């Protein structure tokens, strides 16, 4: 679990799902014989009838985490949103201390290994179509040589995480009064750091 004071808790499922889709490069954490292990991978959210949905992804065959994912243990995927330092000099109310504003979603679930070659190929097609969508001339899996694709498929293992629980923590100065929140958002918006400006956008939303 993640520590979430009530001010920062986000429970709306549509908000959490939209966040996972927007910040889909996640940290996948599992446990195995060697203890905790993590990988950083893009995960695609897929809705499911009667459930919270699934997360689809793949790892290299050489990655030892793949063996942990094959036995159906619980895993956690952490979706990291924008974050920024907050100076106490931006507040109207004092005394105050420095802090950090950020937004994250933790998704918990059980893993099912993707052993079917056709399902794995379909996953790669979905991944590439999703991330190539903004390109004028998108790369397409179907356009690649068959032997090359077969070799790539042998080098990876796919998986699906059936989501059992979602937790959202958007720490955006909700525990401060309106004046302080507005001052922090204005300072972040004026920053030269795009990440800080993204936090300001979240605060205003």
Does 181 map to a domain?
yes
Report the C-alpha gap between 79 and 188 in whole angstroms.
22
Q: What is the pLDDT of residue 34?
A: 85
Eight-class DSSP state of 68: H
Residue 146's alpha-carbon distances to 12, 97, 115, 172, 188, in angstroms, are 43, 59, 19, 49, 49
Domain span at residue 58 reads: 6-199
Split into its structural domains, the chain has a count of 1
Whole-number mean pLDDT of the chain? 95
φ/ψ (deg, to 5) at 177: -75, 170
Inter-residue contact 141 to 128 (CB < 8 Å): yes
Does 39 map to a domain?
yes
Strand partners, 54: 46, 162
Does 163 map to a domain?
yes
Residue 106's alpha-carbon distances to 22, 25, 110, 150, 165, in angstroms, are 14, 13, 14, 34, 8
Q: What is the pLDDT of residue 48?
A: 87
Q: What is the pLDDT of residue 56?
A: 97
* CATH code for position 121: 2.30.110.10
Does 82 map to a domain?
yes
Contacts of 188 (CB under 8 A, 6+ apart): 84, 86, 101, 196, 197, 199, 200, 203
Contacts of 152 (CB under 8 A, 6+ apart): 124
Does 205 map to a domain?
no
Residues of the chain falling short of pLDDT 70: none
- 98: helix, strand or coil: coil
Does 1 map to a domain?
no
User: Which pTM was predicted?
Assistant: 0.94
Does 120 map to a domain?
yes
Does 204 map to a domain?
no
Nearest residue to 129 (alpha-carbon basis) of 139, 117, 119, 118:
139
Which residue has tokens 């800080």?
196
Q: What is the pLDDT of residue 32?
A: 87
């Amino acid at each position: 679990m993640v520590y979430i004071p009530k001010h920062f808790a986000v429970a709306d499922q549509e908000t959490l799902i939209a966040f996972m889709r927007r910040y889909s490069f996640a940290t996948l954490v599992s446990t195995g014989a060697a203890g905790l292990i993590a990988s950083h991978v893009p995960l695609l959210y897929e809705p499911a009838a009667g459930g919270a949905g699934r997360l689809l992804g793949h790892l290299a065959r050489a990655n030892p985490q793949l063996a942990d994912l094959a036995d159906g243990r619980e895993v956690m995927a952490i979706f990291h949103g924008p974050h920024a330092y907050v100076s106490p000099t931006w507040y109207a109310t004092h005394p105050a201390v420095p802090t950090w504003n950020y937004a994250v979603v933790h998704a918990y679930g059980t893993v099912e290994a993707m052993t079917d070659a056709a399902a794995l190929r379909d996953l790669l097609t979905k991944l590439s179509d999703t991330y190539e969508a903004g390109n004028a001339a998108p790369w397409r899996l179907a356009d690649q040589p068959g032997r090359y694709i077969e070799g790539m498929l042998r080098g990876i293992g796919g998986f699906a995480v059936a989501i059992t629980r979602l937790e959202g923590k958007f720490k955006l100065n909700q525990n401060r009064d309106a004046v302080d929140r507005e001052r922090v958002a204005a300072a972040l918006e004026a920053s030269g750091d795009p990440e800080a400006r993204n936090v300001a956008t979240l605060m205003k939303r």
